[in-house]
Amino acid sequence: MYKLLSRAALALSLSAVSGAALAQSGELSEQDAGRQFVIDLGIGAIAKPKYEAADSYLIYPFPIVSVGKFYLPGLGQVVDGRRKSGVFFYPSFSFIGERKASDSTDLTGTKTVDWAVELGLGGGLRGKHWRAFAELRQGFNGHTGQVGQLGLDGIIYPAAKWEVSFGPRADFASEDYMDTYFGVSASEAGNSGGRLTAYSPSAGFKSVGLSGRASYDWNDDVRLHLQGGYDRLIGDAADSPIASGGSKDQFSLGVGLSYRFAFDLFD
């Protein structure tokens, strides 16, 4: 029993490191298709705003995680990359770095917002040339609110080793999240030297945009990725004094590389 629980814990811990946007696996080789677990792990670099509503950019590392096959005792193969259609589920993860008043003059007077981790789940429905999905995550440390995303992608395969997806996105957040990153307290407004006014945003959709990814199978194990996105702040997020001093248009562009691991954990 201990051995079984240990293996199950290892399997769940592997699933818990997924990125907020889960990449879809490429075609599985005949050997990998016979494994219980097929997981692509990698790292990339992405240029994105220094903080939400910022008009300056930094380059950050980001994880690449794609689950091709995932097996759980009693449930069987809960993810099977050989299927190109049907319902799918995946863990969702995001990290937000610390935000300080010194990051920009637009933040003068604001308090420091500590780094935050967001953990949750995503799921959707996929056909060969499309997928629709939704994600919901809970924040820890820097904020304790809830955030989520709705998305719809078209998927094409321009060549044997290529997969390209592109589609609209809509992000929403709870009042706690909105107040943490877009709200301005009376004391912060007073400390800003007139740059900011007190503001208390409500829960709701905070941005809409487009996202795309192109993946190329270098070989059976190594995959190259190029992704980009555009988001436009809307609603209470766009009306925030913090956004007024920065930019409502948010862009991102990243590249990365992943390696495929195929293995069995259960007899």
Calculate mean pLDDT across residues 138-145: 97
The model's pTM: 0.83
Residue 30: which pLDDT band, with cuts at 50, 70 and 90? low
Q: What is the CATH number of the domain that holds 123?
A: 2.40.230
Q: Which of 33-47, 110-124, 174-188, 197-211 has the lowest mean pLDDT?
A: 33-47
Instruction: Write the CA distances from 230 to 2, 68, 202, integer angstroms.
Output: 47, 27, 23
What is the tally of structural domains in the chain?
A: 1
What integer pLDDT is reported at residue 33 of this predicted model? 73
* Edge-to-edge strand ranges of the sheet holding 249-263: 76-80, 57-72, 37-49, 249-263, 222-233, 204-217, 162-173, 146-156, 130-141, 116-127, 86-96
Percent of the chain at pLDDT above 70? Answer: 86
Each residue of 144-202: pLDDT tens digit?
Answer: 999 999 999 999 999 989 999 999 999 999 999 999 999 999 999 999 999 999 999 99
Instruction: Give residue 211's domain range.
Output: 2-263
